[in-house]
């Protein structure tokens, strides 16, 4: 009887731990599946002409026919890598029809990395033409408009250049819109800007979003999680009290084992609740030393 309840408790703890690890991944998977492509590959096509059922419900946007399956209503936009709620609007995956090329600034300007703004410069090269590498390896100085869907927008407010040993790299723009340096692919969340080398030579560089320090917000999810943990702690505490007062076996080997187990789990859950409610950026070094002991509290029940 006693062994059975311990095993049941262990099983429930395993299920709980498994649920904790699954929590994030389930949601993310579901959301990706709802949209035909990544947000960065879409444009707002509000006001485009819908061609009706004899054209399979396709849309006409800027003289391009967009198949219905590439058009989805969105109720958010992504700004600086963060989802921001927005009025429901239609967006189309235009980068699926033609590869997209993004520029940070309008023609005649370049992105100044220090001030993080577009700055006028009389000698900035125009972005109508760029060197494009074809599938067979040939490099051509191409007019971009005929091959690509050209967008002028920076995906984030703060962009940074990617350097290696404080040198800029030579990135190649491919015919399919991907940007590579040897085997490395540049992120999709980029924009091109000309940068000045030395005094007079300009070179095109893709810029990536600068990682922002994430804001720590105590949302409904964190509070629910912390309250569940608190309820767990209280019930475990009651079980421990009952065990201490009523059990005849409390001084036997199993009694001591269960007491140690309960205390470890209560301590572990309390620490977990504490970590949930505190900004990870503010954790002191003392707290970091405690975390290994929290981990060991997961293992201690399994050693009996
Ligand atoms: C989408 O485009 C329409 C028309 O140009 C505009 O009114 C609306 O604000 C845009 N929506 C978003 C979320 O950008
Ligand atoms: C509409 O879809 C059907 C089958 O998916 C296809 O045979 C037909 O050619 C399409 N019509 C147009 C105008 O695209
Ligand atoms: C419409 O498409 C043309 C090329 O086909 C492009 O030059 C122009 O910028 C596009 N306009 C918009 C608003 O996307
Ligand atoms: C690569 O393809 C382009 C056009 O498809 C062609 O003009 C060029 O000669 C080809 N280059 C080689 C090396 O085959
Ligand atoms: C685009 O082409 C390059 C070189 O041919 C290749 O490495 C890359 O995987 C391609 N990207 C996509 C998305 O097909
Ligand atoms: C850059 O310009 C400065 C003066 O504006 C000049 O002293 C320097 O030699 C120039 N450097 C190169 C590499 O041309």
Give long-range contacts, CB 8 A cutoff, 24+ apart: 263-266: 264/297, 264/300, 264/301, 265/13, 265/236, 265/297, 265/301, 266/233, 266/236, 266/237, 266/240
Average pLDDT, the chain: 80
Q: What is the pLDDT at residue 2?
A: 47
138 C-alpha vs ligand 4 centroid, how far in Å?
6
CA 56 / ligand 2 centre spacing (Å) = 6
Selecting from 2.170.180.11, 1.10.1760.20, 1.10.760.10, 3.40.1350.10, what CATH number does the domain 100-209 have?
A: 2.170.180.11
pLDDT of residue 289 exceeding 90, the answer is no
Percent share of the chain, pLDDT over 90: 34
283: phi then psi, degrees, rounded to nearest 5 = -65, 130
| Cα dist from 118 to 159, 162, 195, 197, whole Å | 11, 18, 12, 17
State in Å: Cα 62 to ligand 3 middle: 6
35-96 and 100-209 have identical folds: no
Q: 303 pLDDT band (50/70/90 cuts)?
A: very low
- For ligand 1, atom 6: residue with the closest CA: 46
Q: Whose CA is nearest to atom 2 of ligand 3?
A: 62
Task: List pocket residues of ligand 6, CB cut-off 6 Å.
Answer: 198-199
Alpha-carbon gap, residue 274 to 283, rounded angstroms:
11
pLDDT at 34 over 80: no
Q: Whose CA is nearest to atom 6 of ligand 5?
A: 178
Largest CA distance in the chain: 89
Span 158-178, pLDDT tens digits:
999 988 888 888 999 999 999
Does the pTM of the predicted model rise above 0.85?
no
Q: Looking at the domain 35-96, which fold is it?
A: Methuselah Ectodomain; Chain: A, domain 1 (2.30.160)
**In this structure, which residue's CA is closest to atom 11 in ligand 4?**
138
Q: How far is the CA of 173 from the centre of ligand 5 (A)?
A: 10
Domains of the chain: which residue ranges? Answer: 2-22+216-303, 35-96, 100-209
User: Can you tell me whether residue 161 is helix, strand or coil?
Assistant: strand
CA distance 52 to 112: 46
Predicted confidence at residue 259, as pLDDT, reads: 83
Report the distance separating Cα 276 and Cα 134, nearest Å. Answer: 50
């Amino acid at each position: 009887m006693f062994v059975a309840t311990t095993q049941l408790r262990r099983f429930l703890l395993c299920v709980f731990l498994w649920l904790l690890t699954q929590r994030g991944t389930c949601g993310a998977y579901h959301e990706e599946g709802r949209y035909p492509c990544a947000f960065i590959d879409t444009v707002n096509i509000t006001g485009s002409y819908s061609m009706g059922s004899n054209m399979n419900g396709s849309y006409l946007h800027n003289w391009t026919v967009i198949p219905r399956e590439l058009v989805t209503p969105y109720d958010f936009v992504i700004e600086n890598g963060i989802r921001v709620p927005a009025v429901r609007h239609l967006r189309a995956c235009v980068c699926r029809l033609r590869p997209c090329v993004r520029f940070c600034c309008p023609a005649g300007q370049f992105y100044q990395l220090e001030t993080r703004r577009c700055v006028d410069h009389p000698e900035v090269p125009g972005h109508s033409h760029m060197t494009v590498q074809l599938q067979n390896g040939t490099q051509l100085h191409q007019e971009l408009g005929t091959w690509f869907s050209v967008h002028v927008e920076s995906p984030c407010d703060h962009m940074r250049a990617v350097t290696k040993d404080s040198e800029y790299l030579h990135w190649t723009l491919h015919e399919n819109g991907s940007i590579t340096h040897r085997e490395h692919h540049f992120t999709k969340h980029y924009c091109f800007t000309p940068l000045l080398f030395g005094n007079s030579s300009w070179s095109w560089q893709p810029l990536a979003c600068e990682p922002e320090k994430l804001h720590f917000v105590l949302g409904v999810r964190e509070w629910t999680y912390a309250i569940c943990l608190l309820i767990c702690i209280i019930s475990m505490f009651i079980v421990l009290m009952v065990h201490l007062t009523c059990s005849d076996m409390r001084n036997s080997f199993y009694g001591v084992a269960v007491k140690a187990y309960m205390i470890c789990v209560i301590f572990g859950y309390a620490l977990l609740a504490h970590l949930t409610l505190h900004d990870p950026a503010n954790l002191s070094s003392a707290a970091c030393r405690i975390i290994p002991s929290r981990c060991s509290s997961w293992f201690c029940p399994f050693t009996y």
